[in-house]
Every structure is written in C-alpha cells, then in structure tokens.
Amino acid sequence: MTIAKKILLDELNENAHPEQVESVIFWALEHYANSEPKGTWGRTIAYAIKERISEAEKNDADSGAAGKK
C-alpha cells in the first residue's frame, strides 16, 4: 500500500476535520474532472470516480425513498 493511500484511509477513518473528508475528496475530484485539459488520464479517472460516487448516492437515496413508501 502506498503512503498516500495509507494517509487517505487514516484521514477517512479518523474524520477529525470540520468538513467530512469524503466530501472534500469528492469536491477535489469534481474540480479536477472539470478543470484539467480534456483527454488526460487524470481528468478521465477523476470524472469516472466522481460519477461512480454520484450514481451510487442517487441509487442509495432512491432505494431509501422506495423503502419509506
């Protein structure tokens, strides 16, 4: 495991900041996906991860709403 991955996982587990760490990571991915030059791997990967999170959150919200009917 890389040092960066260890630190990110520690930060996610500790969540000792005024903002949720996962929210900050999501915002960073969103910014990167929208600001980097088109056609770069970084932008492509950031966009794919951001979309995967957004879709999973939408599906989770939809299934939660369906269970409340």
**Secondary structure letter of residue 16 according to DSSP:** -
Q: Specify the residue for token string 């520690």.
A: 10
- pTM for the predicted model, two decimal places: 0.79
pLDDT in tens, 14-65: 999 999 999 999 999 999 999 988 899 999 999 999 999 999 999 999 987 6
b/e for 21-43, b at 16 or more Cβ within 10 A? beeebbeebbebbeeeeeeeeeb
